Chains A and B, each alone.
Chain A
């Protein structure tokens, strides 16, 4: 269930240069498949979030970098916490 670059650009409304920059910054990391680059719904949602940060909240590129870095850690922690709650058997 992935989309190619063209479809991603159309759905996100990003310009080509903007996507290039985001990929370079690794703000969006599409999956590399045998048939090329595959973007997921997750990548779309992430792109929308970055657009919200930049367009609606006045966050600049440096700020986006910091926010994504912290957000990815936050989700890592949430994942670890969720596992801690649902995985009692692992203490054996």
Chain B
């Protein structure tokens, strides 16, 4: 720069260099800081009319106005640590894929501050009866601590409960994620589920089948008494109204009780003798039409 340069010319030259060399505009260029410092020193000298006179007359040298060490923003925006300002908008379109690159980018995004915490996934096994009636469970978390979970009535296997704010903590103002609890309904030897209905196979004696009677039937809500009509057969299905799973929007399904006639064990010789005499007089073929 000529020593005849005006103050405006010096200012313009400084601006041009500052725009190019400012370390915060060159986050990856280590040399930018040194160069920028030199430019600043020069400007501190030349931009100051008084100092410039002394510099031009050789009184002070170019390093006369060293500035104190400054930490630039780029030092704080370095990739490690939490980042309240950095944005993923520059590569958000790369994050959609399921390739390793996208995964790493997604991780980088999660590392950003003001990020909502992750949703944490858990699996909670419950008894069949609990799935119908509802229950309160305490889940012991693998990372320590417990989580109280209220199981609403009528859950089906594989259904997921969302506990708001019970996931991983967020950073900054991001807020925590949710706990997602997948409910696993353990099979029950007695009950099976068919939509809102519950299916149960109930063994009855020959006498109850032929003569009818009152029997006790398990339901998820406890045992109830049910009337078996006279002449019931294996496969006869009786309906216990409202003893099934709760329906969405009110009401409940039914419990379907499928009867199964069970002969006494060990075999009863008296019954054998009776049936042997009785069947001679009767000509009943239950396979009529079913065999060729």
Chain A residues within CB distance 8 Å of chain B: 29, 31-32, 40-42, 45-46, 48-49, 52, 56-58, 67-69, 71-84, 87, 90-91
Contact = CB atoms under 8 A, between A and B. Distances in A.
Interface of B: 14-15, 18-19, 22, 24-25, 27-28, 70-77, 79-80, 83-91, 100-101, 103-105, 107-109, 111-112, 172-173
26 contacts: A31-B172, A41-B76, A42-B76, A42-B77, A46-B73, A46-B76, A48-B72, A49-B72, A52-B18, A52-B22, A57-B15, A57-B18, A67-B25, A71-B77, A72-B89, A73-B87, A75-B27, A75-B86, A77-B91, A78-B28, A79-B79, A79-B111, A80-B88, A83-B108, A84-B101, A84-B105
A52 B173 contact: no
A77 B90 contact: yes
B73 A42 contact: yes
A48 B73 contact: yes
A56 B218 CA distance: 84
Contacts of B112: 76, 79
Contact of A31 (B24, B84, B108): B84
B212 to A, nearest CB: 66
Nearest to B100: A91
Nearest to A30: B84
Contacts of A71: 24-25, 27, 77
Nearest to B23: A49
A52 B87 contact: no
